[in-house]
Structure 1
Amino acid sequence: MMLNLGILSLIVSLLHPNDSHYSLHHALAKIEMADALAEKLSQVCPIDSVVAILVGFASAVVDNAPLVAGSQGMYDLGQHPPDEALWNLITYCAATGGSLLVIGSAAGVAFMGMEQGVSFGWYLKAIGPAALVGYFFGVAGMMGQQAAGLALGS
């Protein structure tokens, strides 16, 4: 993706060298990714808790801070107030989903660099299944707390 953006930026700067209106930065600043993502996700999956779980899977590849920031723009605060339990679930999923793949967390990348024989494939085979089970047990625990009325928020 970054290679494609770089090539696109190069082509645009060659075609319009002195016009900032055609710069890639200007074009990307106008894109409302959270709105586009929210609309597509609500069509594909109208269940908010499943969307939160998918945010966790995305966190295994993408940094969790922009994912949570993007999800804040996805939901109307009138329908989902800030103290709603959905936000706790999104936060949990984004934070722990990074451990599903070794590249999804800074600690995982550091671990891969420090230890001999640790590769992406090794982590996927040796740690991935346990991380996935732990992730889903955590999701079940969060949802169980919500159902029992023990979760923070409404």
Structure 2
Amino acid sequence: PDTPEDEINPNSSTMLYLGLGAIVFVPIFKTTTHLPPYVGMMLSLSVVAVFAEIYSRTQFSMSGVNHAESDAAAHHSPVHHSLSRIEMPSILFFLGILMAVAALESLGELFGFATWLQDNMPLLGTEHGSNISDLVVMLLGIGSAVIDNVPLVAASLGMFSEPMDNPLWHFIAFAAGTGGSMLIIGSAAGVVAMGMERIDFFWYLRKIAWLAFIGFLAGALCFMLMRQILI
């Protein structure tokens, strides 16, 4: 017979669609209300958490703290269970990196570095609507293989002053996202996979890194070509 862990929850598909809908809801909420995106994300998280508690059918007591059913409900609460699995070291890592990036931006170091790159890096002739060389963006993509792409993109926001609808940001997003795959430590997902699947760093470097590098270059060339044709 199937154990309780093997049984499929009849509400699993509902929670899946609810979670996907909550993700799609965030940009709609931002566009409609013009509030910061984190407000929409927290609202979506709250709705998902409420439905998770409802579907779990747990009971709790607000009057008796030591009530047995209250303790059992707290132990089996899906929200509490999910929160207990959060990796605090990863959160603190991103918090520290983003604070360091904000400090460099406040000191003007990022803008000064961007000015130096703009003055010393030659233009490739494929740029559109920006004086930032595509070579700089590709170097940022290669750098994201060593530095996580989240702080790298955050740093680029403080380095360049182009408007948000400029094609430069599309290229930066592509370069940082795909360039981070050249090394397994280039993204948080890679670090997690290395720990969960016991993937060796040097095995990835020998077997996968060169394929990811070729894919990065091919994608960058296709991106620049499509930008010249479509824009």
* Same fold (TM > 0.5): yes
Aligned partner letter, 1:35:
F
Q: Which residue, 202, 207, 219 being the options, matches 1:121?
A: 202
Give the RMSD, CA atoms, in angstroms: 2.1
Matching residue of 2:161:
76
Aligned partner letter, 1:65:
V
CA distance in 2, matches of 1:29, 1:94: 19
Q: Give the CA deviation at 1:104.
A: 0.6
Q: Deviations over 1:113-133 (max 9, x none)?
A: 1234x3221111000011001
Matching residue of 2:107:
31
Matching residue of 1:52:
137
Aligned partner letter, 2:193:
F
| Percent of paired sites with the same residue | 43
Matching residue of 1:42:
118
SS of 1:62's equivalent in the other structure is: coil
Aligned partner letter, 1:63:
D
Matching residue of 1:91:
173
* 1:106 matched to 2:181: no
Q: Give the CA deviation at 1:29.
A: 7.6
Q: Deviations over 1:71-128 (max 9, x none)?
A: 2232333xxx322222110110011111110101122112221234x32211110000
Structure 2: runs of 5+ lacking an equivalent: 1-102, 124-132
Task: Specify whether residues 90 and 124 from structure 1 end up closer, same or farther in structure 2 by C-alpha distance, changes over 3 A only.
Answer: same
Choose between structure 1 and 2 for higher RCO, CA contacts under 8 A separated by at least 6 residues.
1
CA contact (8 A) 1:60 1:99 kept: yes
TM-score between the two structures when normalised by the length of structure 1: 0.68
Structure 1: runs of 5+ lacking an equivalent: 1-26
Q: Give the CA deviation at 1:137.
A: 1.2
Aligned partner letter, 1:127:
I
Task: Specify whether residues 135 and 141 from structure 1 end up closer, same or farther in structure 2 by C-alpha distance, changes over 3 A only.
Answer: same
Report the count of equivalent residues: 120
